[in-house]
Amino acid sequence: MRTSYTIGFTVKKNFKTSSTRVHHGSTTITNRSCKVQCQSQPKLSHVDEPRDEELHGGPSRALEGVVRCPANYIPLSPISFLERAAEVYKDRTSVIYGSIKYTWKETHRRCVMLACALNHLGISRGDVVAVLAPNIPAMLELHFAVPMTGAIICALNTRLDPKMLSTHLSHSEAKILFVDYQLLQIAEEAISLLKNTETNEPPLLVTISELNSFDPSMRANKHDYESLVSDQIGDTTTTFSIVRPNDECDPISLSYTSGTTSRPKGVIFSHRGAYLNSLASVFTHGMRDMSTYLCSLPMFHCNGWCSNRLEHDRKLFRNSSS
């Protein structure tokens, strides 16, 4: 007599400690990520009767669990959204910003070139890259390029003062700070405060200038965003190897509360959480295949995971939240 099996799930939680620190009040706690393992369980068909030894804990053999491998599993990550858009919608418009227009193929290429530049600057898996900018093309590109290096993006609130910004930079231990030219003075004041209070090296400052209006006098002795992108020689899209998450629960972004009522608290988003939240937004807003999406929420709010990271056309306008 045969026994039929259906796949059930037994959940086992194995916690591992990560290096990300999150403040809660005056106490520093360690963020923990959870791995879930699934095992199949046998189910008797309606024609089979359980044997006495099975009912009383006797010898029985359970069906082995599915072995995770590249054939049946890949970590979920928003990086795949951009890769698919560059392949399926490569000639469609991805970004409109003033007179600037990019296709998805061009946006993907720029993100990979920027990721390669970050790699050359020493950014690797687990590092934090901060950005202080409104909704401009560079902000969108950094949200893909930083995770492509295995690093964690930290989008800072553009309304904070230098003292609070220095607190965020200090706690996040950001290696690089990308800053829009309109916010350069605030960023420099925040870094000056860091130099006076911290023994660690302050983050490298990279200025995001207005597109098609290069002014070398304003950025003397500073790295420039467009220079980092354009200085990559050769076909970077084929030579640079994207650093994908080892686990979909690996962190992709670090955000902070504004700190209006107490010390700011850090919040971690995982690759899995960002991926699933983006898909949920597509269904919630009833978006179709060729929808055009206007990004109006500042991307430092949850990094735009709640509604911005979508596989659709989008228009980005500076100060669109006003």
Q: Are 247 and 75 in contact (CB under 8 A)?
A: yes
Amino acid 285: pLDDT: 78
Q: How far apart are CA 73 and CA 87, in angstroms?
A: 21
**Residue located via tokens 């898996």:** 125
- The CATH 3.40.50.980 domain(s) of the chain lie at 79-316
Q: At 29, is the pLDDT very low, low, confident or very high (cuts 50, 70, 90)?
A: very low
Report phi then psi at 278, rounded to 5. -65, -45
Amino acid 279: pLDDT: 87
Q: How far apart are CA 198 and CA 297, in angstroms?
A: 33
Token readout for 282 is 């597509």
Amino acid 113: pLDDT: 94
pLDDT greater than 50 at residue 17:
no
Q: At 303, is the pLDDT very low, low, confident or very high (cuts 50, 70, 90)?
A: confident
Rounded mean pLDDT of 17-26?
A: 41
pLDDT greater than 50 at residue 36:
no
Q: At 213, is the pLDDT very low, low, confident or very high (cuts 50, 70, 90)?
A: low
Amino acid 28: pLDDT: 39
Amino acid 212: pLDDT: 65
Q: Are 22 and 269 in contact (CB under 8 A)?
A: no
pLDDT greater than 70 at residue 252:
yes
Neighbours of 265 (CB within 10 A): 16
Token readout for 182 is 């309109």
Token readout for 137 is 């093309």
Token readout for 250 is 């690996």
Amino acid 33: pLDDT: 39
Q: At 57, is the pLDDT very low, low, confident or very high (cuts 50, 70, 90)?
A: low
Would you say the C-alpha torsion 52, 55, 57, 63 has a positive or negative sign?
positive
Q: At 294, is the pLDDT very low, low, confident or very high (cuts 50, 70, 90)?
A: confident
What fold is seen in the domain 79-316?
Answer: Rossmann fold (3.40.50)
What share of the chain has pLDDT > 90, as a percent? 44
Q: At 26, is the pLDDT very low, low, confident or very high (cuts 50, 70, 90)?
A: very low
Instruction: Lowest mean pLDDT of 111-120, 142-151, 228-237, 283-292, name the range.
Output: 228-237
Instruction: Lowest mean pLDDT of 6-20, 89-103, 126-140, 239-253, name the range.
Output: 6-20
Rounded mean pLDDT of 196-208?
A: 87
**Residue located via tokens 């026994």:** 3
Average pLDDT, the chain: 76
For residues 305 and 210, which has the higher predicted lDDT (pLDDT)? 210
**Burial of 36 (C-beta count, 10 Å sphere; 0-12/13-18/19+):** exposed
Amino acid 10: pLDDT: 36
For residues 158 and 21, which has the higher predicted lDDT (pLDDT)? 158
Amino acid 200: pLDDT: 77
